[in-house]
Structure 1
Amino acid sequence: MTSAMIAAFRDQRLQVVKAGTVRRELALLRHCFEIARREWGIPIGRNPFLDMKMPSVANSRERRLEAADHKALQIALNRSKAWYLAPMIELAIETGMRRGELLALQWRYVAIDQRIATLPNTKNGRSRKVPLTARAVTIISALPRKGEHLFSVKPGAFGEAWERLVKRASLGDLRFHDLRHEAISRFFEMGLSLPEVALISGHRDYRMLLRYTHIRAEDVAKKLQ
């Protein structure tokens, strides 16, 4: 395996999937080579992935929810039969949780009295304890208990319901993940520190966390004397 072979694979994959996906795939393969070299004693020599340039990702978004967006979503939600959409949207904004984390959240991992929701398995492979706002506690307390999960809905069904919702609201550019951006930006606007926001969001790399943060210049201007 040579860096040239890996580069050819990279270029081939970039014709099929996005750069972010290719970066994750290459990072996984690079890690496998490191484990084989360092822990299994396989005589690989230098990891060939270290001599290959990773594809650049220029997909940062600055999508924030405006008052008009909220109004459009609310009107569309009033016409939706998917009962779980409204509370999931609100919880995403209140907690910064990803869609998969909300769908996987179980009642046994929610401590209402302590205002903590525990995510035993997250995207980075680590568990995370998410502090809950008073509004988040109110939303969770009002949910019907229909099983072990807060939201007994399949990811595919939720995805279809979300697509119908944003289409009905004429917000085709809005992704559910944008709600996580909105939540993180609001946490900073509340005055939380970088470590505090990282605790909530689960980011281990502060530089990545800042990519999710889009504070409005207008809000900062109001704080200036």
Structure 2
Amino acid sequence: MATITRRGMGQWQVKVRRKGYPVQTRTFDTRADAEAWSRGIESQMDRATFVSTTAAEKTSLAQAIDRYKKDVCPSLARGGIAQMANLDRLKENLGATSLATLDSAQISAYREIMLKTYSLQTVRHDMGLLNRVLKCCQIDWGINLPRGLPTANVRLPKMPRARERRLKPGEEERLLTAARQYGGEIADIIIFAIETAMRRNEIAQMRWEQVELRRKVVSLLSEQTKTGEPRQVPLSVKAAEILTKRNVDIGPVWRITPNAITTAFMRVTGRAGLDDLRFHDLRHEATSRLFEKGLNMMEVAEVTGHKTLEMLKRYTHLNAESLAVKLM
């Protein structure tokens, strides 16, 4: 039953009471609007299709993001530090909107604005994180979204074809010759990267306390890996030789920062005439070589630290000559 009460000038409060449902209250500027709203609510209750949207109306996206930071982020890798910038960006641009009124048009507009400043991958991460926040609202926190998941009706920016750069015949020799002429640790780091498939940051942050030359293993800590999970990296003969000749047993393995590795590598590739080669391409090369040596996908994933086999598929650009040998 609906009760409509006049409250001051131009204010009409309506309350709908029905057994089995929480009391629904709303204030309108006109009695006609109040009556129309109450009829709609009562009709939904008659058909047993009514779901309260009060929580969504009273909760802004900013509040939902804050709760996600408090309740969910601590359980993520590294306490969700990697997600904080994305969450802050979403909160700044969409935070004032209530969960009840957040729609796909607003999210699409956000996507287009962000694409003018940020990379495709960053915007995709924003969208994915927004989707997870809204799912938490519905599934974990009992906040009904009257429009459903608005992110479901928004297209993600399409990523360009994945980079597939591998070293061509003679390029590794040219690269290492230029690296040795450049001096410092970059030549050894290049060889080590090709032999282990480790990322730039993982290499730069290595410490001797994590190296077990007898077992030929480097034990990476969770805070050193991109995935936030610890990993043991096997050392090939060449990789072990590089570490053995350094003859140090405590502190950082390399006396160079991640950014310095990138700078040195760019100068080396410039000298070698390989300007289109990036340091991360060495990981692609190393991963592909692991497949060419006969390791299966699960074994390669154990070495490289890829979380899903789907992510690993793009690295399997095997050398045709190696495949031809297997077909003989």
TM (normalized to structure 2)? 0.63
Residue aligning to 2:265 = 162
Which of the residues 177, 182, 195 maps onto 2:298?
195
Of 68-77 and 183-192, more deviation after overlay is shown by: 68-77
Contact map agreement 1:64 1:178 (CA 8 A) in 2: yes
Contact map agreement 1:146 1:152 (CA 8 A) in 2: no
AA at the equivalent of 1:78: R
Which of the residues 150, 161, 179 maps onto 1:77?
179
Query: Quick one: percent identity of the two aligned structures?
Result: 38
| Secondary structure in 2 matching 1:59 | coil
Residue aligning to 2:311 = 208
Which of the residues 6, 17, 26 maps onto 2:127?
26
Label 1:3 to 1:124 Cα distance change in 2 as closer, same or farther (>3 A): farther
AA at the equivalent of 1:120: L
- For 1:155 and 1:60, the matched residues in 2 are separated by 23
Which of the residues 190, 195, 219 maps onto 1:89?
190
Which of the residues 214, 217, 232 maps onto 1:116?
217
Contact map agreement 1:117 1:131 (CA 8 A) in 2: yes
Of 207-216 and 174-183, more deviation after overlay is shown by: 207-216
TM (normalized to structure 1)? 0.89
Query: Which one has more relative contact order, counting CA pairs under 8 Å at least 6 apart?
Result: 1
- For 1:117 and 1:191, the matched residues in 2 are separated by 22
Which of the residues 50, 57, 67 maps onto 2:169?
67
Q: Deviations over 1:121-154 (max 9, x none)?
A: 2112211111221221111222254962211222
- For 1:36 and 1:85, the matched residues in 2 are separated by 48
Label 1:151 to 1:209 Cα distance change in 2 as closer, same or farther (>3 A): same
Deviation at 1:187, TM superposition (A): 0.5
Contact map agreement 1:107 1:148 (CA 8 A) in 2: yes
Label 1:56 to 1:69 Cα distance change in 2 as closer, same or farther (>3 A): same
Residue aligning to 1:4 = 105
Structure 2 counterparts to residues 170-189 of structure 1, below 5 A: 170-189=273-292
Label 1:143 to 1:8 Cα distance change in 2 as closer, same or farther (>3 A): farther
Larger Rg: 2
Count of residue correspondences: 224
- For 1:140 and 1:198, the matched residues in 2 are separated by 23
AA at the equivalent of 2:128: A
| Secondary structure in 2 matching 1:130 | strand
Verify: 1:107 aligned to 2:107, yes or no.
no
Q: Deviations over 1:17-60 (max 9, x none)?
A: 33222222322333334345444555556443333221121231
Structure 1's unaligned 5+ residue stretches are none
Contact map agreement 2:196 2:235 (CA 8 A) in 1: yes
Contact map agreement 2:131 2:149 (CA 8 A) in 1: yes
Deviation at 1:220, TM superposition (A): 1.1
Of 88-97 and 37-46, more deviation after overlay is shown by: 37-46
- For 2:246 and 2:161, the matched residues in 1 are separated by 35
Of 36-45 and 108-117, more deviation after overlay is shown by: 36-45
How large is the RMSD of aligned CA atoms in angstroms? 2.1
- For 2:239 and 2:123, the matched residues in 1 are separated by 35
Q: Deviations over 1:159-186 (max 9, x none)?
A: 2211111111110000111101111111
Structure 2's unaligned 5+ residue stretches are 1-101
